[in-house]
Amino acid sequence: MAPWIWLTLGIAGALFVFKMAYILAVALVLPRTRGALWVSTSRTRIAAVLDAVSMRPGELLVDLGCGDGRVLRMARRRWSVRVRGYELNPLAFLKARLLCLGRAGIELRRADFFTADLSQADGVFCYLFPDVMGDLARKLVQELRPGCLIVSCNFALPDLEPRRVLRPAGSLHNDPIYIYRL
């Protein structure tokens, strides 16, 4: 058989294996995530948030469902804050772990943020599924200190009034970013 056929079969096989691993990773956490998929937040949206709000060096930013850790890395670089990410999806967690390897001040936890104590956070970032936003809003109001920054991409937190709503230029579908201060 020609070498290009072997190469094509190898690439197709690798893509198939990756897709099956992705499906398995999503299925493993489906009961808790309620159908949310791992989708990276665009750099444009993260930059818009980092430009619109600020945190002081040494403060703690927590990313709920941190995916590949992109928000953690960009916030750490921009503000010199401590960052902590929670991620259940094993593939996303592995990617975040690899991309954050050797970077000081970044903490990753493969854990359910609903069981975590968030009371030390100075800021919270999330890009989650609408079905969890009601439970999350109650948890944040109960645990976070007054003045805590909360950023939610795409979906508002019920019963909380945003201080600002961003719609970054170049953002797909003009999706909103909600900014709150408790």
Domains and their CATH numbers in the chain: 43-181 (3.40.50.150)
For residues 161-166, give the mean pLDDT: 95
**pLDDT digits 0-9 by tens, 30-77:** 666 655 666 778 888 899 999 999 999 999 999 999 999 999 999 999
pLDDT of amino acid 42: 85
Specify the DSSP class assigned to residue 127: -
How much is the average pLDDT of 81-104? 94
- Name which of 156, 149, 151 is nearest 181 in CA terms: 149
pLDDT of residue 106: 97
Beta-sheet strand order (sheet of 106-109): 106-109, 82-86, 60-64, 123-126, 149-153, 177-181, 164-166
The per-residue pLDDT for 35 is 57
pLDDT band at 100 (very low <50, low <70, confident <90, very high): very high
Confidence of residue 11 (pLDDT cuts 50, 70, 90): confident
Instruction: Determine which of 20-24, 91-95, 111-115, 174-178 has the lowest per-residue pLDDT on average.
Output: 20-24
